[in-house]
Chain A
Amino acid sequence: MIWSDISRFNRTWDPWSELDRMQRLFRDLAVPAAAAEFPAVNVWVTGDEAEVTIELPGVDPKDVDISVVGKTLTLKGSRNPEEAKDEESYHRRERWSGSFNRAVDLPFLINANKVEARFSKGILTITLPRAEEDKPKKINVISA
């Protein structure tokens, strides 16, 4: 009696596929702390201008390569850690190191000639104005 119940139960509901589905769910939920992208980027949009702030602590601004094509802002650079020499050892190494290449898409075309970048206290701020040809055109209604 009970066995027939289970077999019927199995046909409609496969616990293994369910387990697999759960595993996938948990894997997607897990926060990839170490795999987080460097540098972190925030984008602010005001009317026809975007301001991108990038956290780049310990990076020399001269070593950051900023380029703009169409709607995309690309940042390239690297951050190298202090290497432990003889008789030195790391107790903790949490800071990110390596080379980065990040692209940020903006909601409009950028006027590449008017892009400005400032670096202060480890934060790079890039101001990107919208390209003239991309600005919405105001259409005047002519009354008949």
Chain B
Amino acid sequence: MATTRELQKKEAEMPDGVERTRPRKAYTPSVDILEKKDEIVVTADMPGTDERSVDISLEKNVLTIYGMTDPEQQKASRPFYAEYGVGDYQRAFTISEEIDRDGIKATVKNGVLRLVLPKAQAAKTRKIEVQAGA
């Protein structure tokens, strides 16, 4: 019936034996990770989410992004043609210890999550003076 070619979104992987509580599909958002001098910026495409529906958690060194979308698009009408699936977003990253955990900032604008992870003081690049040997 409907032409479906969901090439754009990849379904999020789950560790073995772990199930989702929400009976919905979850997709892996595409991300850009930019390392700046003092911070790491993670940008993720999560259309359909806003600042209220994105959950970010940091446990030990695993940073998890979870975005919930409304199923409003799946109305009574039949899909005539479909290229993308509607579902939640999930992705996890392991981060190094050198992140200032209290300074993490997240914003969502136009369906794009921007996560700023400031580097901890100790991790900032230091120039090491090389001293001449005696």
- Which stretch (A12-20, A50-58, A131-139) binds chain B? A50-58
Inter-chain contact B80/A56, CB cutoff 8 Å = no
Contact mask A95-134 → B, CB, 8 Å, 1/0? 1100000001011000000000001011100000000000
Q: Say yes or no for A93: interface residue by CB 8 A criterion.
A: yes
Contact of B110 among A31, A57, A89 (CB under 8 A): A57
Q: Which residues of A from 25 to 55 have beta carbons under 8 Å from B? A: 31-33, 36-38, 40-46, 50-51, 53, 55
Instruction: Tell me whether A84 and B34 are in contact (CB under 8 A).
Output: yes
Q: Answer whether residue A5 sits at the interface, using C-beta atoms and an 8 A cutoff.
A: no
Interface contact A123-B111, CB-CB below 8 Å: yes
B7 in contact with A42 (CB, 8 Å): no
Is B122 positioned at the interface, with any CB of A under 8 Å from its CB?
Answer: no
Contact call B34/A89, Cβ cutoff below 8 A? yes
A-B interface pairs (CB < 8 A), number: 125
Quote the shortest CB–CB distance from B54 to chain A (angstroms).
10
Known: A41-B81, A43-B80, A95-B45. A89 touches B7 (CB 8 A): no
A59 interfacial contact with B, CB 8 Å? yes
B46 to chain A, nearest CB (A): 7
Q: Is there an interface contact between B45 and A57, defined as CB atoms closer than 8 Å?
A: yes
**Nearest chain B CB to A96 CB, angstrom units:** 7
CA distance A89 to B41 in the complex (A): 10
Residue tally, chain A, CB below 8 Å to B: 42
A37 CB contacts on chain B under 8 angstroms: 8, 83
A88 and B48 contacting across the interface, CB-CB below 8 Å: no
The answer to the question of A8 belonging to the interface, with a C-beta cut-off of 8 Å to chain B, is no
B82–A43 touching, CB < 8 Å: yes
CB interface residues, B 51-102, toward A, < 8 Å: 73, 75-84, 86
Contact residues in A for B82 (Cβ distance below 8 Å):
42-43
Chain B residues with CB below 8 A from A106, complex form: 80
- CB contacts under 8 Å to A, within B17-68, are 30-37, 40-41, 43, 45-50
Q: Give the distance in Å from the alpha carbon of A88 to the alpha carbon of B83 in the complex.
A: 34
Q: Which residue of B lies closest to A49 (CB)?
A: B77
Using Cβ atoms and an 8 Å threshold, which residues of chain B touch A56? Answer: 47, 110-111
Q: A55-B47, A95-B43 are in contact. Are A90 and B34 (CB under 8 A)?
A: yes
- Decide: A57 near B112, CB < 8 A? Known: A46-B76, A90-B34: yes
List the interface of chain B (C-beta within 8 A of A): 7-10, 30-37, 40-41, 43, 45-50, 73, 75-84, 86, 109-112
Interface residues of A (CB under 8 A from B): 31-33, 36-38, 40-46, 50-51, 53, 55-60, 81-82, 84, 87-96, 104, 106-107, 119, 121-123
